[in-house]
Structure 1
Amino acid sequence: MSLTVPNDLLDQARAGHVDDDAFLACVRDSLPYAWETISGLVALRDRSGAEFAGNEVPPPDEAARGQLLRCLASDAMRGALERHFGVRLAFQNCHRVAVFHPAATDAYEEFVTPRAQILNQRPDLVDC
């Protein structure tokens, strides 16, 4: 299961509308490693003024790795995070997540190429 959903949020979904803030709180509380990684990258990108900031540190354990995978594999979660932080997210493997300024089209398009994926591979990441 990707998220631990509180009853009030489940009731919202059953009623037909889920508030973005409530959904984001659920993501933050359910996937704290993923939230901290992404919010930290957003802060780094904001401070640096760079087109993007990317994580190159593998997660500390399988639970953290799973959080990133679940968070970024979900279109709903990814979209909510992008709207909340005002960024574009990209993901290459079990740890290589990056946040892009929305106008950084060239940098984003380069990051999501097969070439960039291949260059990001290392033997220690084979089974991630």
Structure 2
Amino acid sequence: MSLDVSPDLLAAAERGPVSDAEFIDCVRTSLPYAWEVISGVATSVDASGFADHEIPPPSEAERGQLLRALASDAIRGGLERHFGVKLAFQNCHRVGAFAPGAVDGDRYRAFISPRGQLLNQSPELRDC
């Protein structure tokens, strides 16, 4: 299971849409490592419009949290709206955060390019 959904939040979702604030709170409490990484990188975006996190997770559990957060369109989109950034992801741990104005820039295009992905590979990360 990706998220620990409280009975109250589940009941609210069964009745209709839930607010981003309720959803983000569920993500924050369910995926604390992913929240730490993403909030850290999102709040570190510099004047160039970019920040990244390149430290491998300490365990498979933390790696799983990061993968779940960034692989889910709903979670990733909620985090992007909450922090006001565009998230980009490479490997099992490299997360980039871009200010909205930097998304069309060279650095963003390089980060998400096939070349950028290939250059970010290493034997140590083969099975991540």
Range class of TM-score, shorter chain: over 0.9
Q: Which runs of 5+ in 2 are unaligned?
A: none
Quick one: distance in 1 between partners of 2:2 and 2:48? Answer: 31
Structure 1 moving runs of 4+ over 6 Å = none
1:119 offset after TM fit, Å? Answer: 0.3
Task: Please show how residues 86-105 of structure 1 align to structure 2 within 5 Å.
Answer: 86-104=84-102, 105=104
Q: What is residue 79 of structure 2 aligned with on the other side? A: 81
Q: What is residue 34 of structure 1 aligned with on the other side? A: 34
Count of aligned residue pairs for this structure pair: 126
Q: What is residue 113 of structure 2 aligned with on the other side? A: 113
1:110 offset after TM fit, Å? Answer: 1.6
Contact 2:56 2:92 in 1 (8 A): yes
Quick one: distance in 2 between partners of 1:61 and 1:50? Answer: 32
Q: TM-score, normalised by structure 2?
A: 0.95
1:108 offset after TM fit, Å? Answer: 1.7
Quick one: distance in 1 between partners of 2:72 and 2:5? Answer: 15
1:68-102 CA distance string (max 9 Å, x none):
00000000001001101000001111001111001
1:38-90 CA distance string (max 9 Å, x none):
11112221xx3232111111001100000000000000001001101000001
Contact 2:43 2:83 in 1 (8 A): no
Quick one: distance in 1 between partners of 2:86 and 2:111? Answer: 12
* RMSD value, Cα: 0.8
The counterpart of 1:55, out of the listed 53, 56, 61, is: 53
Amino acid at match of 1:71: A
Please identify, of 2-11 and 48-57, the stretch whose mean Cα deviation from structure 2 is larger.
48-57
Amino acid at match of 1:120: N
Q: Which runs of 5+ in 1 are unaligned?
A: none
